[in-house]
Structure 1
Amino acid sequence: MNGGTSEDYIHSLTQGFNRIFIRDVKISSVVCDGNKAQLKCFQKGWNQSFYNSNDPRLFKILFIPCLCHRIHNCYQYMTTKDVALGAIVKHIHEISALCRIHVEDIGAFCPKHVSTRWIYDYNICMFIIKYQDKISRYTRIDIENIKFLRDCLAILKKLISTFESDKTKISDCYVWLCKGIEALQYLSSSNNNPFAGILSRSLLNYTLGSDFGGLWCLAFAFTPKGRYYFNQKFVHGAQINESPAINSFDITNVTFVNPVEDIQSIYMDSIFEEGSTEVSLDMVEEGSIRQVTATIDPPMLDLADVTSSSNQLVNHFVAARQYLKSILEQFRIPGQTITDIITLFNTYINSDNDIFSDDMIQERQEYGWEEISQRDGNVSIFADIALRVISASPQKQ
């Protein structure tokens, strides 16, 4: 690629897509870091975009924003907007540089700030806390605020490590994001953490509260447990007794407990006792997490690029439905058919009896969307979109 403009991206991506199409392989989605030039290639407002292409193989490609980039950016952005957060981050960066000067006296090498992976400031915080006695010989250490920052970054870093794992599906992301936002809120309200509240709001604005928030809601809704969860929470208003969000995040050493498994059984009939409106959920241990080496990021997204309104969508069923409608419009589905498919989605979520229960792949606890997509009528379009969404990756590989 010769440059970083939208024209450069369109040219290079088209060449790459054509090499895939020639092998009769369908492209369902593309995961991008989401800078403005990339995003423009998939938006309606630019005449040359894939959205406005005459080729259905191109205009049906879904744009998936990389969650890891968004989480990095939600932290980096707030360091430039909040004075107190910016000050403590500058403080740990200065200590990191000083520690590398005195590495022999300290007896260990302090991690360096990575400008393309801001969340890994967590490692600097952990180093300073561990070697604070030796470091204090050379400089003042605001250890209390460093611990507050460490606790926040532990949550954000775990989210990134999880989304980088090849075991994580895009349908898992909704639960992880909800838990991360709630865990930061808990640190703010219960631990009086001065940074957690602003980072919780920033994480919300960059993810579930952004223009793409409905995507992660929709991906979850296309799973049996997601359908049941939305049915109980947003249709029936049931109180769902989940383990506290903070339990999914060991903020002292970032161990891994999977909050997605916290709702593993909520769609099963045995969950509810007769007459009960509460769901009881158990936590289980998650498998191993793969670390991915850092690559160079594009310029940071401004908050204005990721959310169009300060009014967040509380009802994630509504957010999922709105995003489904936007996909149908992107695919140039006729208006009445869009209405009918939205009605189908409403029935799918609203019905107490799962309309696709006979299509369950029991060993994977997933719907057989590929088989469903071979049927006639609107259900085929519905299933095709489900396939495209749930097959996407949460982050750039």
Structure 2
Amino acid sequence: MNITEKILSNAYGKEVSPGEIIEVDIDLCMSHDGTSPPAIKTFEKIADRVWDNKKIAIVFDHAIPANTIGSAEFQKVAREFAKKQNLTNLYSHGEGICHQVLPEKGLVEPGKIIVGADSHTCTYGAFGAFSTGMGATDIAMVYATGKTWFMVPEAFKIEITGKLNGITTSKDIILNIIGDIGSDGATYKSAEFCGDTVDNMDVSSRMTICNMAIEMGAKNGIMEPNKTTLEYLSNRTGKKINSFNIFKSDKDSVYEKEFVFDVSELEPQIACPSDVDNVKPLSNVLGTHIDQGFIGSCTNGRIEDLKQAALILDGNKVHDDVRLVISPASAEIYKIAIEKGYIQTFIDSGAIVCNPGCGPCLGGHMGVLSAGEVSISTTNRNFKGRMGDPESEVYLSNAYVVASSAISGYIEDPENISQSLNKY
């Protein structure tokens, strides 16, 4: 059995098979300021009390601080619900993006089943958990019962081998994979990432890859936790490593499809407008005009991404015709970036530093694009209207490339910009 089948079998109480429909207990249920009110409205029609006030997390991140009367009203509903139900995991003071905050707060563990009212809930697969996004009605039922149903997914084995070169990152790996498999090529599949490259990845890189599993339609993205991941989890949860319920795929696991990606010579990848699978090597799009750059989001707003940006921006200035917006993924990351001097570097370069949150990624809260404008972004989606006017365009890349492009005014190779990649 593979890791996903083992986790679901453990929760179901007996061995499961792909295609089987099962009902299981949920270990953690998450919603945010945008999805909590619809879930609450449905919940209040079917129950008075949540099934477990310690297993529900609500994070304000999509419009924090509130940018419209509507978003303010949504947050008021969520606050009142959390207070009434005595929820212990309400994060409403700008703690950051839900997919970053939950692991930071020690709420994510290997072997757990986690659901969230956000499609990028698949991020937690980086920690060896089965995690997936759901709609508000399904979340309401979890609020009430602590249970939900799944159809056990077929699995894709995605083996990644080789050592990355210089300015190529895990973002480029997952863009390359999505470009190959397609934006709907893994619909309702379990995308299991493995191989020596994955085994040696840090937590941030693993989260980036699992975060974007949904961008090829996957039900979940998942990895067996490595030593670095388990140490991170131990520090966050206060639990000993040997106390985690860790599942690993058998050597003779059965997969619907198997893929192998050698990233030894992979150059930075760019997802071009307006589909995430419209992926081209950086060298093919050099010189493309941009109006805005964005570094942040649940995909690439971690301290490693901010470091990459700082290395490029140090001693340089953002082009006069470009806005560069930077938003750390969490308040904790923001503080570390201040301590390391990254924020000072950003401000000195002419970048706009925003509070932690989803912000520009959603096109309705900070950094909105007008018709005809072009942005290059570290986010996970580039479909029409994602970051503003439907007539704007979005390119996706890693933080090195966004920072370099913001300096040049067009999509740029970072190696043409930075003279000090080892300063920090």
Query: Normalising to structure 2: TM-score of the pair?
Result: 0.25
Q: Choose 1 or 2 for highest CA Rg.
A: 1
- Normalized per residue, the structure richer in strand is 2
Larger RCO: 1 or 2 (CA < 8 Å, sep 6+): 1
